[in-house]
Structure 1
């Protein structure tokens, strides 16, 4: 949709529709695009709260398929079109939109004093240091488990890798799928790796590999991949054809007892009526490190070519407010980066506690800036590993060489 062509007509029609007594109130219409299809109802509620205090602005939220969103938004912006408000990805995903000038720099136009510097790294363009989107939410990779199934089989949440495999074995012998995760979609294998690998390669690895002190052929990383490969026997039958939707359905229906996913899954599992709890990925051994991987999930940007830029900036200011942060926490079940947004939800409180021992979600945070991205490399490699066509060492080699070639 091209605002240059539709703005005048929209303004006239909106003005006619907003007649109050003998005066007309002009209403600016903003389009807001996102990939968060599961959040449509919640965003509409949040938008309604904004519109109550901004009766001259109407916001329409459109959610596109997550796997197609990057292409959809990039294509629209390259054509000089697209929405006024853009739900951006973070880190490298942000840079591909900000670097060509598609996004409006916000740090001098939006008060982000309630948002910490670490969160803003994910929406900052490295080339000029400007912030191009208001940070959205932090996400955490976790292991979900069905509390009813665990209770029925007398199981306690595993703390170590050996305990994790022992629990999975007992579930499998009882006719329950231990792990809902499949390998049809590479991005979900990357999620799985984010939950399981760090406790094997350790808290020092991220800093060492990003500084060049080591690479992904480091024995710690290869060994972590070898451990992850041990889970094949606990995944669903035909796991190579099990996609994201099927994974969630297996867990939500009670067919599978555990699911490795992001904290963004919480609202959906609750809506499905699942009795679940969460744990960090298991420690490599008793007393070992037990971390969760975290990342900034994205931000709210403004189309630099928008005909409605001032109204869009007003909405961006709203997304940086404590009011918005609280609504995002309460309605979306996400941990907001905005100071003062506190959740009474015990699960979110537990995630906040788990984040006290965290490591960056490595490929997203550090290696999504160049082509091929680290995520593409690890996703392809993990699919090959689970298909049996490559060994963990070969996957690590390909990842390491691919990242070096992209730098």
Structure 2
């Protein structure tokens, strides 16, 4: 063998080794997902992530949630410090739009899987002009009330249709004394706003018509349609059980799943969490927000809730885009909707849901007018942030720290301080 040939073979072997090493390094990637959903950790770890990793060897995924009330502040701090995960779970509309405008979320408009979503599904994670989409839509959630069907049968109770029937029901449960009428606390604040105010509020402000009128400046948070939901929350105080002021979100979940509370003001996301915890101890049912009077239009919050974006500073952008493309697939849509019943897929591909309680929630779309949470689009872009201020206001009126009228006036004053809608 000539010296020239030996050198060529050695060089080729070295280059091949380097290429193999480079390929291994390229595949040896761990992606971290930032999320506010901390109660579905096991589902991600045991079902969703293994399904992806089985089809994509070399890419590992870690789900690293933060408590919901802390997520925005913690995520912003991590992004500013350059320590955030590769994949960012996106809240709808303004909170995520702000991150995109700051250059902290990458533009995903050209991601192939984006073709699997309608304009409506993408709208919660787009720029105002629709030119850029920065998160892959995952699911919407529906608000209502989950109840202990077994407890209702024991007490001879039926789900309410009207507000009067709702309070008569709560009073009957309270008088019996076996169960706490409703499991909800005010310690975390967001729970009071999300499962309280945004749950029943559309009934009083008229769903999308009222929400859009508020954005347009045609209505005010001090109008009757916006104050009345706060008055209703103040009435809930008598039915939440002792110590609700110090009760956290996980505390509320535990009270219901342990069978100590009859009703849980809910988002549909609880379905997948509650089922395994209850383990046949009792049956669950659900009813939509009661209407003010018999014959009134039913409104539900059917909220474009959750999506997944790419940290623009991620050193593993290619692997992250691979994961995001999978998140946008029909395979993920079916897996996610059934692994997490109550998160209703936004993918254009049809998904057959197996869980009967999830089917109950989604059936309300046939009889109720849908809307989204009132604070999420446009109205929380300034300081004070209307979404966060609504958390405090909702908790305050329940505890009695603030009257509904004073809370509404404070919210409107804060909004007026930075938001002047175009005439």
Do they superpose with TM above 0.5? yes
2-structure distance, mates of 1:105, 1:57: 22
1-structure distance, mates of 2:230, 2:70: 29
2:355 aligns to what? 345
Q: Are residues 1:393 and 2:397 paired?
A: no
1:290 aligns to what? 298
SS class of match (1:291): strand
2:307 aligns to what? 299
Assess if the C-alpha contact under 8 Å between 1:143 and 1:260 holds in 2.
Answer: yes
1:214 aligns to what? 219
1-structure distance, mates of 2:27, 2:265: 49
Assess if the C-alpha contact under 8 Å between 1:110 and 1:316 holds in 2.
Answer: no
Q: Which residue, 321, 328, 353 being the options, matches 2:329?
A: 321
- Alpha-carbon distance change, 238 to 76 in structure 1, aligned in 2, over 3 angstroms: closer
- Alpha-carbon distance change, 57 to 184 in structure 1, aligned in 2, over 3 angstroms: closer
- Alpha-carbon distance change, 394 to 68 in structure 1, aligned in 2, over 3 angstroms: closer
Structure 1 runs, 4 residues or longer, greater than 4 Å off: none
Q: Are residues 1:406 and 2:410 paired?
A: no
- Alpha-carbon distance change, 128 to 138 in structure 1, aligned in 2, over 3 angstroms: closer
Q: Are residues 1:223 and 2:231 paired?
A: no
2-structure distance, mates of 1:160, 1:211: 30
Displacement of 1:382 in angstroms is 2.2
Q: How does 1:85-164 map to 2 (within 5 A)?
A: 85-126=87-128, 129-164=131-166
Assess if the C-alpha contact under 8 Å between 1:92 and 1:370 holds in 2.
Answer: no
1-structure distance, mates of 2:83, 2:395: 36
2-structure distance, mates of 1:387, 1:345: 35
2:80 aligns to what? 78
- Alpha-carbon distance change, 304 to 110 in structure 1, aligned in 2, over 3 angstroms: farther
2-structure distance, mates of 1:37, 1:379: 19
**TM-score, normalised with respect to structure 1:** 0.89
The one-character-per-residue Cα deviations of 1:272-310 (angstroms, maximum 9, x if unpaired) are: 215211111111011112221122222111121222211
**TM-score, normalised with respect to structure 2:** 0.86
1:5 aligns to what? none
| Deviating more after overlay: 199-208 vs 121-130 | 121-130
Displacement of 1:328 in angstroms is 0.4
| Deviating more after overlay: 313-322 vs 298-307 | 298-307
- Alpha-carbon distance change, 25 to 247 in structure 1, aligned in 2, over 3 angstroms: closer
Displacement of 1:127 in angstroms is 7.1
The one-character-per-residue Cα deviations of 1:25-69 (angstroms, maximum 9, x if unpaired) are: 943332222222222232232222222222232222222333332
The one-character-per-residue Cα deviations of 1:241-279 (angstroms, maximum 9, x if unpaired) are: 222122112111221111102111111211121521111
2:270 aligns to what? 265
Question: What do you get for the CA RMSD once the two structures are aligned?
Answer: 2.3
Assess if the C-alpha contact under 8 Å between 1:89 and 1:298 holds in 2.
Answer: yes
Count how many residue pairs are aligned between Structure 1 and Structure 2: 390
Assess if the C-alpha contact under 8 Å between 1:91 and 1:369 holds in 2.
Answer: no
2:382 aligns to what? 370
- Alpha-carbon distance change, 253 to 366 in structure 1, aligned in 2, over 3 angstroms: farther
1:177 aligns to what? 180
Assess if the C-alpha contact under 8 Å between 2:69 and 2:190 holds in 1.
Answer: no
1-structure distance, mates of 2:137, 2:413: 32
1:233 aligns to what? 238
SS class of match (1:122): helix
In structure 2, stretches of 5+ residues that fail to align are 1-16
